[in-house]
Structure 1
């Protein structure tokens, strides 16, 4: 009897986690999963340049920074195209360009050529993000968005867990095979988008806001003047700078201690495995809780998790550190994405998502330069100690921001859930 009750409760929990979402969301989810199953280059680029090609940590940091610069350039442009041209065309163009540039990266050998192509890869691979996030906000009802973002994040990490583990093994035989494999998987993603995902952009912006005022046109200047939203972007930049160290500074630090690509692949795969195992039940636990506390806790766990790397001397200890900052990441992602959508007007979702994506792109640009330079000049331990300090400062910033939101918003515009946008202020039709 107990087993039957337990099985029934599990089925109910699963139904509440994945049920009721539109079919278009699941095709978007599938495209995300397929894309992440082949996401090898960003994770192993630093290790490829240092261990396989013999370049210095500073050069690897420079190439990683150019990869991030490409993302910076494309974030804003892709956000504008998402609003003007549409979600689907922006995704398709970005995916085809990503496949072509990643394949080219497997062929070039000159240091200048590698750096230039890496910048193109960063530009192309980042360009689809505002479109994906805007389409998700378009097609999912407001009350289901936190859950939808969590499921999409789960797909990202399911693919990442598989790809990082397998890529670590493949890299021992051929790094070029990694690049060609990613190009092929991105093309498969483009086929899914082309065949299964119709355009979701609203035909015309809403004529009036929820309070009866005329809805103003949204430009990038509008986004920049939105102080509360830009505060979210700035805080995410700090947190993203920490998380990016996992893909640039962490493999370099582990390599300095004689650990192999397989060790790094296994350790970093724990990040995806934990998210796959725990993200959905954790989301059910946090979705109706105070976002200020959640974001503060997430920043502290992320900062101190990376700080633990200063004491690591084995793959097992690095794995413990990964587990700590992964919990912070799991708490932060659905909470913050819900906050981003809540602050974004319907007619400007692409631009707002582009600016939010820009924070990740700037982190991809700055983190490799910061990490590589600090490691070369001061050592890895200094970098990890600074990470704990950044996590503390970010937590303080989240506390001030969320208190400001509570103090300045009218009661009727307060969110119904910890991170979800208030249904009464959203004018997008449910899919």
Structure 2
């Protein structure tokens, strides 16, 4: 057991101090964003919105994310990642607190749009900062550490969120969300001042290639958009499925979602370390992750046994653990060809587009076709995602780039 524990700790060695600080800031911020997994339940339970209205609110969420990611990338390339991160975090905290006072459909749509616009300016800036503070050979593990922070926060967040709903009602979530964003801002300003922090991979490209002309990157973005659409069902339609079909309480839903984060916290870093030492390319590993995520929906239709929810969550978790770190690393490596903010903005926009269509499409499909047919459709989309990644693998091989990607 001691050897196993030491081997686990060794997977974290070699990462810079700044990457650890980024992970802690992300942990504080992520633990606070506990409104998001409960948003669909809040809108249907507290505000009595229809599934159709919830779908459109989620689309506003996605549109805000697209604009915020694009703007964050542009600002990162002009004023720098540090200023973008500080201003985004602080303003997000204030907006989250104000969101609870909106209660009409139009006001909620506008409010969610503005919150996500400001919040997602943070993401491309954070990826560029992460790339700057990571040695080239450590980038995948640095991304994995950030994901561990996200999922540790996410494992605690929903469980704590369920307790807050029971004791303080939904409004308590908005206060906690806002305060944690502000706390994360204060920590960021204390520990990551660019005048003191040490960069380890400061890429300077005299003739940057535009991300918009990178064909391989566009194939990659298409696959990630499809992957995002199916993955995001776990944060909109899936909580409703847990409640309506399997009669789980908010606390049980929070614990089940939290289990996903706990699995990732324990297993992801050793898994990534092991996969990095295999002969498999990033594109092949992303393909495997897409198949496993597709399977997580298919198994739900095999039986009405409540335990199948754990099986589905396990498939999705392993798929996510493989797909996300290697897709992040692929994007950061590709970004060296051009303006890093532009590349990382497009990468985050692919998931923002998934937010626009994924939540809404999921809600509409459930409303018109039921949960079982929706899960079959998500399975097919997962196979399409894997096919796109296979095309990417072939394209890179033809261009003699696969050894690096």
What range is the shorter-chain TM-score in? over 0.9
**SS of 2:11 mapped into structure 1:** helix
> Matched residues in 2 for 1:243 and 1:139: separation?
29
Query: 1:203, CA displacement in angstroms?
Result: 12
Of 176, 189, 196, the residue aligned with 1:194 is 189
Indicate the SS of the match to 1:373.
Answer: helix
8 Å CA contact 1:253–1:380 kept in 2: the answer is yes
Give yes or no for the alignment of 1:387 onto 2:385: no
2: CA distance, partners of 1:54 / 1:318 = 26
Q: Is 1:206 aligned to 2:188, yes or no?
A: no
Q: State the Cα distance separating 1:172 from its structure 2 match.
A: 2.2
8 Å CA contact retained: 2:135, 2:200: no
- Over 3 Å counting, the alpha-carbon distance change for 1:344 and 1:373 in structure 2 is same
Question: What's 1:422 paired with?
Answer: none
Matching of residue 370 in structure 1 with residue 361 in structure 2: yes
Q: Does 1:110 align with 2:104?
A: yes
Establish whether residue 271 from structure 1 lines up as the match of residue 260 from structure 2: yes
Equivalent position of 2:223 in the other structure: 235
Whether the 8 Å contact between 2:132 and 2:201 is mirrored in structure 1 is no
How far is 1:335 from its partner?
Answer: 1.4
- Extract unaligned runs of 5+ from structure 2: none
Which structure 1 segments of 5+ residues have no match?
1-5, 208-214, 420-431
Whether 2:84 is the aligned partner of 1:84: answer: no
Residues of 2 paired with 1:312 and 1:187: CA distance? Answer: 45
User: In 2, are the aligned partners of 1:303 and 1:392 still within 8 Å (CA)?
Assistant: yes
Match of 1:224 in 2: 212
Query: Structure 1 residues 314, 230: closer, same or farther in 2, change over 3 A?
Result: same
Matches within 5 A, 1:39-58: 39-58=33-52
Per-residue Cα deviation, 1:64-122 (whole angstroms, up to 9, x for no partner): 11011100111111101111111110011111121111111111222221121111111
Selected match of 1:408 from 395, 399, 404: 399
Q: SS at the partner of 1:259? A: coil
Displacement of 1:53 in angstroms is 2.1
Who is 1:177 aligned against?
A: 172
Matched, 1:329 2:320: yes
Aligned to 2:270: 281
> Secondary structure of the equivalent of 2:204?
coil
- C-alpha spacing 1:54/1:206, structure 2 compared with 1 (3 Å): closer
Give, in angstroms, the shift of residue 241 of structure 1: 0.5
Which residue of the other structure, out of 259, 279, 303, is the alignment partner of 2:248?
Answer: 259
- Distance in 2 between residues matched to 1:203 and 1:398, nearest whole Å: 28
Structure 2 counterparts to residues 271-310 of structure 1, below 5 A: 271-289=260-278, 290-291=280-281, 292-310=283-301
Aligned to 1:3: none
CA distance in 2, matches of 1:24, 1:177: 32
**Paired residue secondary structure (1:18):** coil
The whole-number CA distance in structure 1 between the counterparts of 2:390 and 2:273 is: 22
Contact 2:68–2:119, Cα closer than 8 Å, also in 1: no
2:127 corresponds in structure 1 to: 133
Is the 8 Å Cα contact of residues 63 and 118 (structure 1) preserved in structure 2?
yes
Deviation at 1:341, TM superposition (A): 1.5
Pick from 37, 54, 58 the counterpart of residue 60 of structure 1: 54
CA contact (8 A) 1:38 1:185 kept: yes
Between the two proteins, the alignment pairs up a number of residues equal to 398
Partner of residue 340, structure 1: 331
**Counterpart in the other structure of 1:95:** 89
> d(CA) in 1 for partners of 2:64 and 2:36?
13
State the TM-score, normalizing by the size of structure 2: 0.93
Residues 259 and 315 of structure 1 are in contact (CA less than 8 Å); yes or no, is this contact kept in structure 2? no
Quickly say closer, same or farther: Cα 1:265–1:385, change in 2 above 3 A: same
Q: Give, in whole Å, the separation in 1 of the partners of 2:317 and 2:202.
A: 40
Aligned-pair RMSD on alpha carbons? 2.0
User: In the TM superposition, what is the alpha-carbon distance from 1:17 to its structure 2 partner?
Assistant: 1.4
Describe the SS at the equivalent of 2:277.
coil
Is the counterpart of residue 358 in structure 1 residue 360 in structure 2? no
Secondary structure of the structure 2 residue equivalent to 1:414: coil
Please state how far the C-alpha of 1:204 moved relative to its aligned partner.
9.2
| Aligned partner of residue 207 in structure 2, secondary structure | coil
The whole-number CA distance in structure 2 between the counterparts of 1:162 and 1:203 is 33
> How far did residue 312 of structure 1 move?
5.7
Query: Normalising by structure 1, what TM-score?
Result: 0.88
Higher deviation after alignment, 241-250 or 394-403 = 394-403
Q: Following TM superposition, where does structure 1 have runs of at least 4 consecutive aligned residues deviating by more than 4 angstroms?
A: 200-205
Larger Rg: 1
CA distance in structure 1 between the aligned counterparts of 2:225 and 2:382, rounded to whole angstroms: 11
